[in-house]
Amino acid sequence: MTRACIFCRVLSGELPGNIVHRDDRVMAFLDVSPLVLGHVLVVPIAHADSLDDLPPALVGPLFEVVRRMSIAIQQGLDAGGSFVAINTRISQTVPHVHIHVVPRNEGDGLFSPRPIWKRRSYADEAEAAEYARKLRTAYADVAAGR
């Protein structure tokens, strides 16, 4: 944990976050400035600045949560698919490795001939909490093999 890192502060509970999943190595929570409502960030609990710095032993556990979160987003939010992305240094606004898992549907406008990603906002904390609740339930079902 690094005191200056905003994600480490969410991981420690110092800052609030709409947590969707947490185990002893990985946490997933709603992005506060989502591309699409239900956009989740999956992060290792141990601080690593970027994917390049991630210890090999954490790669599998981190991406297993990403895989399950992709399925949970599709099931829990009736999404047609998901977009999974990671930045390494360039365009990485928080220097703590994190993977974006974004709900996708046909015609959602996320990609176009000239991609322009416009961030959105939840109407209020209650709406964000409801998205997190739906995803927690769906994630638990996916993890249990349902």
For the question of residue 21 being annotated catalytic, the response is no
Cβ atoms 83, 100 nearer than 8 A: yes
Cβ atoms 136, 21 nearer than 8 A: yes
The candidate with the shortest Cα–Cα distance to 77, out of 108, 102, 99, 100, is 102
Indicate which residue of 21, 39, 96, 98 is catalytic: 98
The candidate with the shortest Cα–Cα distance to 34, out of 112, 100, 114, 119, is 119
The candidate with the shortest Cα–Cα distance to 138, out of 41, 73, 65, is 73
The candidate with the shortest Cα–Cα distance to 40, out of 90, 103, 95, 88, is 103
SS3 50: coil
Active site residues: 98
